[in-house]
Chains A and B, each alone.
Chain A
Amino acid sequence: MGSLNLKSIRKAFGNHEVLKGIDLEVKDGEFVIFVGPSGCGKSTLLRVIAGLEDATSGSVQIDGQEVVNTPPAKRGIAMVFQSYALYPHLTVKDNMGLGLKQMGAPKAEVDAKVAKASGMLSLEPYLARRPAELSGGQRQRVAIGRAIVREPKLFLFDEPLSNLDAALRVNTRLEIARLHRSLKATMIYVTHDQVEAMTLADKIVVLNAGQIEQIGSPMELYNKPANTFVAGFIGSPQMNLIEAGRLGEGQVKTIGIRPEHIKLSRDNGDWKSKVIHVEHLGADTILYLETEIAGLLTVRLFGEHRYDVDDIVYASPDKAAMHRFGADDRVLR
């Protein structure tokens, strides 16, 4: 209960096409994350799935049933919004129970389900409060609770952590991961934060300019990016993308090498370079180099290292970890 099937979804606002034919299959119980830069159409796609926007063409199937003409409330979905979107004049309890009440569920059932969901999210002490009396993290938990109470086939999350501060973001992220394990529900999650995507997802869908660039598990995307966009988008700091011509490789347009796959030495190596900036993060040291051959290069070293600006160092890439991209920006296998 909870599969999703999208077939050639297109969406245009006037002459501007936001989604250019999206095909996607989500299996029951999967945690799928849409990730991409702002304006790539990921939120619009989520809204199309929810039924809040009509697709210009294409088909949306939930559990094998065509839902294009079904209103949002009847699709068996629940959504968590970035801005929480709690009803300001209702108490936490009423906020969570409203959906079921609208469906005509008996009061005892609503109460039982609200109690269960609030237990899961440790919201019991706040049930009688209004949203204005809660902190940001609590509000987002109520919003998640409101989704759980509906027992939907699909959970939809629209950047749910963007309004929270860093510490709460990590906590809530863990909470969502825990919920996914205990509910075994299908979840679709939109974010622009690749850390959220890498840590939560079973399957990541990378979107760019209304098209799917690549679908795969987090490690697939990290280890085998299909094209330069995914290569540059997944991983932090970004993968170094070097013009292949500089390194004298024919038939290849771009060579990609992750910052953590480069070794540094003061004495000898492949690329002589000068340090232009150093960031000490404790666990990592990130160096920005100006190389003679390959141009600007980011290098990530584990642990603490003493390098100063203007030091001369030699960088040696791990040849086996290099990614080669052809003239169409796709990876060459």
Chain B
Amino acid sequence: MSKARISPLRSGFVHLALAGYTVIALFPVVLTIMNSLKDKNAIFRTPLALPTAETFSLIGYTTVLKQGDFISYFQNSLIVTVVSIFFALLFGAMAAFALSEYRFRGNALLGLYLAIGIMIPIRLGTVAILQGMVAAGLVNTLTALILVYTAQGLPLAIFILSEFMRSVSDDLKNAGRIDGLSEYAIFFRLVLPLVRPAMATVAVFTMIPIWNDLWFPLILAPGEATKTVTLGSQVFIGQFVTNWNAVLAALSLAIFPVLILYVIFSRQLIRGITAGAVK
């Protein structure tokens, strides 16, 4: 920490800017939660007002919990997200370790090839993916989503993790080799714990798009048994009538699991982002 004195005026401006950004970032979230606790008339009449004793209503939440199988939607979303993160991290870390640790022909080229996925959105391949899933009989299964999301998460995971793994000291790995650790043991017991902050960063960046995705659940797994939360809340959005209470309540509920996962990862995350820059 720098001990240099900063003038109160300057730090005031900094805090003003940060506070302004915080307000802008939180506004839609707060608005959603606020309105999910009001009755329908209040949502339309005074959308910016806090719920009062008259306008307070849990109708949205009761609708959501009654209608459809919301618990199972949540379950589906959680399974898909957690399993996809797990596989993206596992395979991404493995590929990153190979790319950073071993010298072989075409190493740089392979690294570039694996990173292309960051630049080209996976949705361009939707038709081919759908055909493939149909052929494999995986349509309307969570497996289909997990496979797609793992593939979607891999490029970023490999890109970030291979950079971090290059910074793990060679001496440490060599010490492990001399002590008789296998390459797997070196990977799992020495390298992975050291790149944990980077893993948390990758987990967060991978998690949010998966949790929020509507596209692939809609195309690959629209069946009732495999609906995710984002897809499930669409039930309440009709062409002519939209049940805003229910939509807002569903969205508010959908925020919490991400929030919890984020809190779990965030302490590591900050270290991950600043590592290398500070030190």
Contacts and interface: CB of A to CB of B under 8 A. Distances in A.
A83 B173 CA distance: 12
Contacts of B194: 88
A99 B177 contact: no
B180 interface: yes
Interface of B is mostly: helix
Nearest to B175: A85
Contacts of A158: 171
Classify chain A: how many residues form its interface, as a range: 20 to 34
B179 A99 contact: yes
A81 B177 contact: no
A295 interface: no
B28 interface: no
Contacts of B180: 73-74, 99, 102-103
B190 interface: yes
A103 B182 CA distance: 12
Nearest to A98: B179
Contacts of B172: 83, 85-87
A151 to B, nearest CB: 13
Contacts, number: 57
Interface in A51-97: 51-52, 71-74, 77-79, 81-89
A194 to B, nearest CB: 24
Contacts of B175: 79, 81, 85-87, 146
Residue of B171, B176, B181, B193 contacting most chain A CB atoms (<10 Å): B171
Nearest to A87: B190
Contact of B174 (A52, A86, A98, A146): A52
B179 A102 contact: yes
B178 A50 contact: yes
12 contacts: A52-B177, A71-B177, A72-B177, A72-B178, A73-B179, A73-B181, A77-B178, A81-B175, A84-B171, A99-B180, A102-B181, A158-B171
Interface of A: 47, 50-52, 71-74, 77-79, 81-89, 98-99, 102-103, 146, 150, 158
Q: Which 7 A-B pairs have the closest CB atoms?
A: A73-B180, A102-B180, A85-B171, A99-B179, A81-B171, A85-B175, A85-B172
Given A47-B174, A50-B174, A79-B174, 17 more contacts: A52-B174, A72-B177, A73-B178, A73-B180, A81-B175, A82-B171, A83-B171, A85-B171, A85-B175, A86-B175, A87-B190, A99-B180, A102-B179, A102-B180, A102-B181, A103-B180, A146-B179
